[in-house]
Structure 1
Amino acid sequence: MTAAYDPRDSQISIFDALIAARARYGAKKPILEDQERNPLTYTGLIQAAFALGRKIAGFTAKGERVGVMLPSSAGGVVTFFALHAFGRTPTMLNFTAGIRNLKAACELAGVKTVLTSHRFIEQGKLHDLIDALEPIANVVYLEEVREKVGLADKLFAAAGGVMTRQFRASSKPTDPGVILFTSGSFGAPRGVVLSQANLVANVQQIAAHIPLDPDWVMFNPLPIFHCFGLTGGVLLPILTGMKAFQYPSPLHTKQIPPLIRDSQASILLATDTFVNQYARAAEPGELSGLKFVVCGAEKVREETHNLVAERFGPIPLLEGYGATEAAPVIAVNKPLDNRRGTVGGLLPGIETRLEPVEGIPGGGQLFVRGPNIMAGYLAADGTIEAPVDGWHDTGDVVGISNDQWIKIQGRVKRFAKVGGEMVSLTAAEDIAVAVWPECRHAVIAVPDPRKGERLILLTDRREAEVDALLAHAKAIGAPELTVPRKILAVPEIPVLGTGKTDYVAIQRMAEAELRRVA
C-alpha cells in the first residue's frame, strides 16, 4: 500500500531506518536472501552487521570511506549495514569499470581499505584489479575477517540485536550514506555523495508512488555499486518489509528465470536488455509469478513489452528514470498507469525546472531539486561540491505533461547539429530499433566538414542497410536528417556493467574504423 509522502520522515539515519522497519514488520520476518538460500531475518541482519562491523572497526576509523567491491549478495548487503553500524561510509566500487577508473575512484574518495572476498575474485577472475589496488589500498578479504569473529564479537552482536540503538554508532541524517560513481556512459565517472537522508527519502518517495506489499519478494540481479541496484534492490525492499533476494550477476540468462520462480519473486529489477534475454531463455511459467518488472538505465523497447506479454501474460514493464545524483529515482510508471514511451510520473517531493535548449522545441533541459538530491560531487581535494541552490542539472532534454509524466527526448550531449538542424541521436536509434527490433543499435555523431556533424549507426545486425531506415522514417513522417547514412556492423554493442550502452567505447570504435578506411 502507498503512504502519503512527508519529507520530514526521511530525517533519519539508514541504520535507524532499518531498526524502525524491524519494529514495524517484525524481528523474525525473513528480509534478505541470495542464491545460497540461507535467509536472514531483520534481527539476523542486524546481528550479522554488528558482528562483522565490529571486526571492520578494528582496522578502520570512524568516518572513513571504506571501499566495497562485492557483488549483489547477502554478504554485500550485510557489509553495507555493518559499515553504517560503526559510522563508516560505504564507498561502492564498480569492478566492471576497468583498472584506470577503479584506481581513480579510490584515489578521489581517499579509500585506504577495500573490502572484497576471495570467492568473488576467483569466480570473477578479477586478480588484475587486486594487483592494481594493492599498492594504493589495504585489500581485506571478508572470509578472513569472518574467521576472526570470536565469542566476544558474537556476544556483542547478540546484545546489539536486543539493544540496537545503544550499540549502533550515532549518525545524523545529513552524514554520508554512500559514495557511488556515475556510470561513465558519456565520459569519466564522477564521485557522488548521497546523504543518509537522500537514500531514505528516495525509498519513501517510491513507496508513496507505487503500492507495495510487505509479503512481496524483490529479485535484484543488478550490481549494488549502481544506485538502481542499491536503492531499488536493497534499501527499498528491506525498509518497506519486502524480502530482498540478491543475485550476483544480471548476465546469467539461463540461471535467473528459474530462480525468479523458485524464490517466488514478485518484482524484478532489470534493464530492457536483460529482461529481453530472460524472457527468451525462460521456460513457461518461470516469470509468470511476477507482479511487475521495473526497468531503468535504458529505454524499454516495444519488442520487449510484446515479448513478455506474449510469453508470460500481462506483466507490466514499468520504465523509470533516474540519476545517481538523485539516489536515483526521479520518475517511474505505475502498474495501473503504465504509459509506454514515457518514463513515468514524477515522484512526490521533487521539484522540476525546464530550461530551453536552442534548436530543440517542445521540451527543455531538466533540473531537479528535492530531498533525494545528492549532497554533492567529490572534488579532487576531498571536499564536496554541493548543487547550487539544491538544483541538479540532469543533462536530459524532456517534456513534462500537465499531470507530471515525463518523456525523454534525449541527453543534451545526445543531439547533433546536422545541416544546421538539431537532431536527436536517441530518435535516430529508435528508427533502427523499429526496423530491427531483435538487434542492438547505437548512434553517434562525428564531425563532418560539409554538414557540421553526421550520424553513424553501429549495429549488431550484419545485413543492416540505409534504405530500410529511410523507408521507415518516411512511413512515420520522421525527417530524413534523423537517418544515419553510414552503418558499421559490429559483433556486439558494448555495454557497461549496469546494462547501459557504453557510448565512450562506441565512439572510440567508430573513430577507429573511420581512420582505418580513410
Structure 2
Amino acid sequence: MSALVTPSAGGVPDRADAVAVAGESVSREDLFGAAAALADKIAGSPAVAVRATASLGTVVATLAGLTAGVPVVPVPPDSGPVERTHILGDSGAALLLEPGGPGAWDDITLPVVPVDTAARAASSYPEPAPDSTAFVLYTSGTTGAPKGVLLSRGALAADLDALADAWAWTPDDVLVHGLPLFHVHGLVLGVLGALRTGARLVHTGRPTPEAYAKAGGSLYFGVPTVWSRVAEDPAAAAALAGARLLVSGSAPLPVPVFDRLAALTGHAPVERYGMTETLITVSTRADGERRPGFVGLPLDGVETRLAGEDGAAVPYDGETVGELQVRGATLFAGYLDRPDATAEALTSDGWFRTGDVATVGPDGWHRIVGRASTDLIKSGGYRVGAGEVEGALLAHDAVREAAVVGVPHDDLGQEIVAFVVADGVTGPELADFVARSLSVHKRPRRVLLVDALPRNAMGKVQKKQLRA
C-alpha cells in the first residue's frame, strides 16, 4: 500500500487554493508543512483528540496525527460535557488539539495544543504500518455509552481507492461539501478522499444551497437534508448542472428528493451505504445505473450477504428481507477496549453484523430497508442513539420515564421525538436540558409529556405504538 496521503497525490501541480475550508485556503505544500509542524509537537502521544470544527485547523490537526502516526479522536464541537468527557476519557487521548474559533471548551483537563495553520516544518516521518490505527471514531451510543471504533490506515486506503474507482474520482475533480468533520462522511471521504486522490477540496463551512451553488465543483457530497434543501431552491439546483456527480449518503435519500434533484440538475444522484465500523461498502457507480431507493452494488474488495433471524441465507429475490452482513478490507479493527462488543458484532465466520435489514435483487442491487432495531435515529445526516437521549432525559430530577423515537420528517429524514413521564417541567425545558448534556443535534425536536408509556408483558416499551 502506498502512503495514505502525500503532498504530491495525483501528480498535479499545486495551487494556492488546493484546500479551502470555510473561506480559508492553503496549498497542499503549506497544508502538509503546517501538519508537520504540529506533528513535531504530538509525536509519541498514545492518541490525540481534536475539537473537530468545520475549519482548516481541523484538517491540519487530523493530518498532523496521520503524519506522526498518532491515532486521531475527532470530537463533535457541539458535544455536551457528559459526551465529551466519556470520549476523552475512554479514548486515552493525551492531548486536545484546538483549532480555535467560537465554542472552545473551558472545562477540559487535558493539555490543550493550539493548532497554528500558519506554522511550517519540513519534518518527515516514516509511513506507519497499514494495520496501525488512524482514527478512533465514536458510535452514536444506541445501546449505551458510545464505543470507540478503531479504523486502520489500510482500511481507509482500501475504501478510498474503491470509491475512487466507483465514482471515477481523479485529481481533475473539485470536491465540494459542507459536512461535519467528525465522522466518516465529512472527514474520511470528504477530506482524506480529496487528499488521497489529489482532487481540490472546497468545504463550504455550512452546507447551504447558496454555498453549494457558488462553489463550482465537479463532485458534491451531501446528506439527504442537504439535498432536500437544494431541491427546494431551483436556482441553486440549476447551478449544479455543470457538476459531474452528486453523492448522497449517511441516510436514505427520499425518492421525491431524488426525482426532483434529477429534474433540476440533470444528474440522478449516486447513493451509497456504509457504517463507521465498515466505512462505505455499497454504492452506485458513476458509469452505471442509479435507481431511487437503492444503494447499488458492493465496492471492489467488499462482500455482502443477507441472513435471516435464524442465521440462514436469505434469497436474493429483491423482496425477502434479511440482516445485511459484510466483510472485506474496509472493516474496522474492533471496538476500543471492548472485546465483548467486538465479538458480538461479528459472526462466527468473521462477517460484520450491520444491524440493518435489506433486500438484494437477482442482479445484486441492494436496498436498505431500515434498522433491525428501532433505536437508531437518522436525523439531518446524523446517527443518533435513542438510548443516549433517553439517558440524558432520565438524568433530570423531574423525569420518571422516557422513550425516544425517530418520526419521519420531510427535511431531516427523521426528527427526534421524546415521550416523557414527568412532573413540574415543560417539554421545551427538557429539550434544552438534553442540549446542555449531549450534542445539540441530539436534542429532541418535540417532547411530549404523557401519563404512562405503553409496555408489553415483559415491561419493554412498545415504541411502535409511540411512533404511530
TM above 0.5, yes or no, is yes
Tell me, in whole angstroms, the C-alpha distance in 2 between the residues paired with 1:387 and 1:21: 35
Over 3 Å counting, the alpha-carbon distance change for 1:116 and 1:502 in structure 2 is closer
Cα distance per residue 1:112-147 (max 9 Å; x no partner) = 21112331xx2xxx35xx133x13x123332xx568
Over 3 Å counting, the alpha-carbon distance change for 1:407 and 1:236 in structure 2 is same
- The answer to whether the aligner puts 1:407 opposite 2:367 as a matched pair is yes
Report the alpha carbon displacement of residue 270 of structure 1 after superposing the two structures with TM. Answer: 1.2
Tell me, in whole angstroms, the C-alpha distance in 2 between the residues paired with 1:365 and 1:504: 29
**What letter corresponds to residue 515 of structure 1 in structure 2?**
A
Over 3 Å counting, the alpha-carbon distance change for 1:31 and 1:184 in structure 2 is farther
Tell me, in whole angstroms, the C-alpha distance in 1 between the residues paired with 2:454 and 2:361: 46
Over 3 Å counting, the alpha-carbon distance change for 1:169 and 1:398 in structure 2 is same
Over 3 Å counting, the alpha-carbon distance change for 1:358 and 1:414 in structure 2 is farther
Report the alpha carbon displacement of residue 90 of structure 1 after superposing the two structures with TM. Answer: 1.1
Aligned match of 1:330: 281
3-state SS, counterpart of residue 452 of structure 2: helix
Match among 202, 208, 220 for residue 165 of structure 2: 208
Any residues of structure 2 matched to 1:87-486 within 5 Å, and which?
87-119=69-101, 122=102, 126-127=103-104, 130-132=105-107, 134-135=108-109, 137-142=110-115, 145=116, 149=119, 154=120, 156-157=121-122, 160=123, 167-184=124-141, 188-250=145-207, 253=208, 257-281=209-233, 283=235, 285-310=238-263, 312-326=264-278, 328-335=279-286, 336-357=288-309, 362-379=320-337, 390-414=350-374, 458=407
CA contact (8 A) 1:12 1:196 kept: no
- The answer to whether the aligner puts 1:81 opposite 2:60 as a matched pair is no
Report the alpha carbon displacement of residue 46 of structure 1 after superposing the two structures with TM. Answer: 2.1
**What letter corresponds to residue 141 of structure 1 in structure 2?**
P
Over 3 Å counting, the alpha-carbon distance change for 1:215 and 1:340 in structure 2 is same
Tell me, in whole angstroms, the C-alpha distance in 2 between the residues paired with 1:362 and 1:517: 30
Over 3 Å counting, the alpha-carbon distance change for 1:107 and 1:460 in structure 2 is same
**What letter corresponds to residue 217 of structure 1 in structure 2?**
V
| TM-score, L = length of structure 1 | 0.68
Tell me, in whole angstroms, the C-alpha distance in 1 between the residues paired with 2:230 and 2:25: 24
**What letter corresponds to residue 317 of structure 1 in structure 2?**
P
Task: Give structure 1 stretches of 5+ with no counterpart.
Answer: 1-10, 161-166, 416-424, 430-441, 445-454, 462-485
Any residues of structure 2 matched to 1:488-503 within 5 Å, and which?
none
CA contact (8 A) 1:18 1:238 kept: yes
3-state SS, counterpart of residue 171 of structure 1: coil
Tell me, in whole angstroms, the C-alpha distance in 2 between the residues paired with 1:381 and 1:367: 19
**What letter corresponds to residue 409 of structure 1 in structure 2?**
V
Aligned match of 1:422: none
CA contact (8 A) 2:301 2:328 kept: yes
Aligned match of 1:49: 35
Report the alpha carbon displacement of residue 267 of structure 1 after superposing the two structures with TM. Answer: 1.7
Report the alpha carbon displacement of residue 169 of structure 1 after superposing the two structures with TM. Answer: 3.6
* Length, aligned pairs only: 403
Bigger Rg, structure 1 or 2: 1
Aligned match of 2:27: 40
Tell me, in whole angstroms, the C-alpha distance in 1 between the residues paired with 2:9 and 2:265: 33
Cα distance per residue 1:369-420 (max 9 Å; x no partner) = 11110111112699987956542110111112233321112211039xxxxx
Report the alpha carbon displacement of residue 244 of structure 1 after superposing the two structures with TM. Answer: 1.4
Over 3 Å counting, the alpha-carbon distance change for 1:214 and 1:13 in structure 2 is closer
Aligned match of 1:21: 9
Report the alpha carbon displacement of residue 220 of structure 1 after superposing the two structures with TM. Answer: 2.0
**What letter corresponds to residue 394 of structure 1 in structure 2?**
T
Aligned match of 1:164: none
Cα distance per residue 1:305-345 (max 9 Å; x no partner) = 233234x331222221100011x211112344101111121
Aligned match of 1:419: none
Over 3 Å counting, the alpha-carbon distance change for 1:297 and 1:514 in structure 2 is farther
3-state SS, counterpart of residue 118 of structure 1: coil
**What letter corresponds to residue 34 of structure 1 in structure 2?**
V
Over 3 Å counting, the alpha-carbon distance change for 1:139 and 1:48 in structure 2 is closer
Over 3 Å counting, the alpha-carbon distance change for 1:240 and 1:517 in structure 2 is closer
Cα distance per residue 1:451-505 (max 9 Å; x no partner) = xxxx9884679xxxxxxxxxxxxxxxxxxxxxxxx9xxx99x9999xxx998995
**What letter corresponds to residue 101 of structure 1 in structure 2?**
E
Over 3 Å counting, the alpha-carbon distance change for 1:340 and 1:170 in structure 2 is closer
Tell me, in whole angstroms, the C-alpha distance in 1 between the residues paired with 2:310 and 2:143: 21
Report the alpha carbon displacement of residue 184 of structure 1 after superposing the two structures with TM. Answer: 3.8
* Overall identity of the aligned pairs, in %: 26
**What letter corresponds to residue 77 of structure 1 in structure 2?**
V
CA contact (8 A) 2:48 2:70 kept: yes
CA contact (8 A) 1:186 1:503 kept: no
**What letter corresponds to residue 12 of structure 2 in structure 1?**
Y
Aligned match of 1:515: 452
**What letter corresponds to residue 74 of structure 1 in structure 2?**
L
Over 3 Å counting, the alpha-carbon distance change for 1:50 and 1:263 in structure 2 is same
Cα distance per residue 1:38-78 (max 9 Å; x no partner) = 2413x232222212322x33xxx515210011223332222
